[in-house]
Amino acid sequence: MNPRLWHSKCHDPGVMDIARPDLKRKKRRQLILWTGAAVVVLSVAVMAVMRLKPAAPVVDRSTIWTDTVKRGDMIRQVRASTGSLVPREDSIELIPAQTDATVVRIRVLPGAQVTPSTVIMDLSDPQLQQQLLNAQLALKAAEADSKSLRASLESTLMDKKTAAAQVNADYVQDQLQAQTDKALFNLGVISGLQYNKSKSTAEQLATQHQLSQEQLTVNQRAIEIQLASQQTKIDQARALLDLYQKQAAALQVRSTISGILAPLATPLQVGQHVSAGTSLAEVIQRDKLKAALQIAETQARDIQIGQPATIDTHNGIIPGHVTRIDPAVVNGTRTVDVMLDGPLPPGAVPQLSVDGTIDLEHLHDILYVGRPALGNENSTLSLFKLDPDGKGATRVSVKVGRASVNDIQVLSGLKEGDTVILSDMSRYDNVDRIRLE
């Protein structure tokens, strides 16, 4: 057909289009059906997606550590947060100044080995030197006075003894004369008057003789008392002299034991004046040290005197036992003293940092596993247990009992041979399963 002719027919005003309303209704129904189907399909898809569990996160196996549940004996222990070697009470000698003095020379510095023959420092005290000289003179004067008094008393006693001897001689003579006159009177040679006179004289001399003996005894006691009093003065003078001599000797500061010279809280300087009682030096015996451990207050409650312990000096392990538990709590810890039962290794000195472990008790035939990074004893923990193939792990609830430094008792939730993750897994608290790669 000629295009022009077709065009003219199509636009001929006399030609009319035929309307099809049924076709429009059919297309509208199809659109509604397709739209409803799409909505249903979309709703089902959304609900399916919502019901899907999130994919298990992947964890790098090299970033975790695990342990296997075991059955057997477990030693329950506590470990010190910090510790150090300190001198025992019987190993310290503190040397105080005996008098007010001045430091004129320091011969030995802290850290040096000293013996009783080692002069640590020299002091000077001119006043003490004068007191020492005066004490020497006072002793000599007291001794001289004692000798003079003794000579005087002995001279007086000798005079008393001479007089008593004369009375005794007269007493003996008159006793003989009275006995003779009695015999003559009995024979009628002399008169009774003469005999009575002789008898009276003998009785009078007997009384004088008794009094002279008593007086002699009293004089001897008086002499002893006076000499004893004078001896007391001598003893006092000698004691004062001994004191000053010891104080003078103490101007050369020495230790009475062998050990290490420890530093003072306030070091002394040459030329410094010190008062009596000031600490001049402190000496510590190296072979008499103990370990002072700082134990957390919550862990120290089960520690008892006598429990065994091990001390790591980082140059050897030393066995020991608990000897004291400080009742005071400082910064959340208590100090526990451990007596060392073995020899100290080379290099062990006071204030050396050490690690300490104390054995609390032995638990027999129990389930136990390594102690998790998070979790306390006597609680319920949430741990990841590895699958048999080791490619994944599932969260399980585990009830634990008493804990040690490295292990913890398993009460329920795990069995012997199970492997659990001990690392800190708090970042996966929102999932119940992980994959390991």
- List the single range of 1-15, 104-118, 122-136, 252-266 with lowest mean pLDDT: 1-15
Tens digits of residue pLDDT in 122-147: 999 999 999 999 999 999 998 888 88
pLDDT given for residue 349 in this prediction: 85
Q: Considering only residues 106 and 160, tell me which one the structure prediction assigns the higher pLDDT.
A: 106
Tell me the mean pLDDT in the region 182-199.
Answer: 65
Q: How confident is the model at residue 11 (pLDDT cuts 50, 70, 90)?
A: very low
Percent with pLDDT over 70 in the chain: 78
Closest CA to 242 of 148, 143, 138: 138
Architecture of domain 61-86+288-436: Beta Barrel (2.40)
Tell me the mean pLDDT in the region 197-224.
Answer: 71
pLDDT given for residue 87 in this prediction: 92
Q: Rounded distance, CA 388 to CA 386, Å?
A: 6
Distance set, CA 375 to CA 212, 232, 360, 406 (Å): 104, 78, 20, 12
Q: Are strands 317-325 and 333-340 parallel, antiparallel or unpaired?
A: antiparallel
Domain spans in the chain, listed from the N-terminal domain onward: 61-86+288-436, 96-125+251-284, 127-248
**Over 60: is that where the pLDDT of 120 sits?**
yes
Q: Considering only residues 49 and 55, tell me which one the structure prediction assigns the higher pLDDT.
A: 55
235, two tokens: 């003893």
pTM for the whole structure: 0.60
- List the single range of 100-104, 196-200, 304-308, 326-330 with lowest mean pLDDT: 196-200
Q: Considering only residues 173 and 108, tell me which one the structure prediction assigns the higher pLDDT.
A: 108
**Over 70: is that where the pLDDT of 361 sits?**
yes
pLDDT given for residue 224 in this prediction: 80
Percent with pLDDT over 90 in the chain: 50
**Over 90: is that where the pLDDT of 247 sits?**
yes
Contact 205, 92 (CB under 8 A): no
pLDDT given for residue 21 in this prediction: 61
Q: How confident is the model at residue 268 (pLDDT cuts 50, 70, 90)?
A: very high
**Over 70: is that where the pLDDT of 164 sits?**
no
pLDDT given for residue 228 in this prediction: 84
**Over 70: is that where the pLDDT of 182 sits?**
no
Architecture of domain 96-125+251-284: Beta Barrel (2.40)
Contact 88, 300 (CB under 8 A): no
CB neighbourhood size of 152 (10 A)? 12
Q: How confident is the model at residue 99 (pLDDT cuts 50, 70, 90)?
A: very high
32, two tokens: 């509604």
Q: What are the b/e assignments for 91-116, b being 16+ CB within 10 Å?
A: bbbebebbbebebeebebeeeeebee
Task: Supply the mean pLDDT for the chain.
Answer: 84
